[in-house]
Amino acid sequence: MIAAEGKAFSAGVDVSDHTEDKVGDMIERFHGIFRRLAATDAITIAAVQGAALGGGCELACFCDVVLASDRAKFGQPEVHVGVFPPVAAAILPWRVGLGKAIELVSLGATISATEAHRIGLVNQLFPADEFNDKVAAYIDSIRGLSRPVVRMAKQATMVGMRAETLKRLEEAEKIYLDELMQLHDAHEGIAAFMEKRSPEWSHA
């Protein structure tokens, strides 16, 4: 299970790691997490008690099961700083459908846990004041199952999807590194965020 302490689940990668001199290494290291998640037959669970934004949202939605507090929120705000989230681009169409994936990835939408549950991004939605107890009970219910049977059931359910997801991720990475990083707007958005000012888009 992937969980966090405090008010937020995760805000993802530091924006400064998207700069030209760091972005290649950041993508390789960060996306290694998702390649390992894609390779496992164990059930992966994200327990999201607060805001899951950017890479934090990608991490949550890449897990097989997302358990969320009703105070949580989910979003991919990267486009507001001139970049996009490659992992979300690869996985969200599977999870929430193309239309919602476009809103989240391409338009930078942030949604409530209730909306995330409605569209299928969240599997189970729990009241914030009962969250820890409900998550513990959910985990206990899984522990009562046969581990090899659960693994085989996941393996059968994921037939074809692993390879397709990794292919999508590779293509999204290529667009990010080879095309996006050539745009003035990508560098302007990151610089503006770091300098705490509004970006001046050139649309190029």
Q: Which residues are catalytic?
A: 58, 78
DSSP 150-202: HHHHHHHHTTTHHHHHHHHHHHHHHIIIIIGGG-HHHHHHHHHHHTTS-----
Rounded to a whole number, what is the distance in angstroms from the first to the last CA of the chain? 41
Q: Tell me how far apart the alpha carbons of residues 168 and 201 are, in angstroms, rounded to a whole number.
A: 28
**Cα dist. 7→4, 41, 66, 119, 154 in Å?**
9, 30, 17, 24, 32
Q: Tell me how far apart the alpha carbons of residues 174 and 162 are, in angstroms, rounded to a whole number.
A: 18
Beta bridge partners of residue 75, listed in sequence order: 53, 110
Are 44 and 100 within 8 A, CB to CB?
Answer: no
Q: Tell me how far apart the alpha carbons of residues 184 and 181 are, in angstroms, rounded to a whole number.
A: 8
Q: Residue 72 carries which DSSP code?
A: -
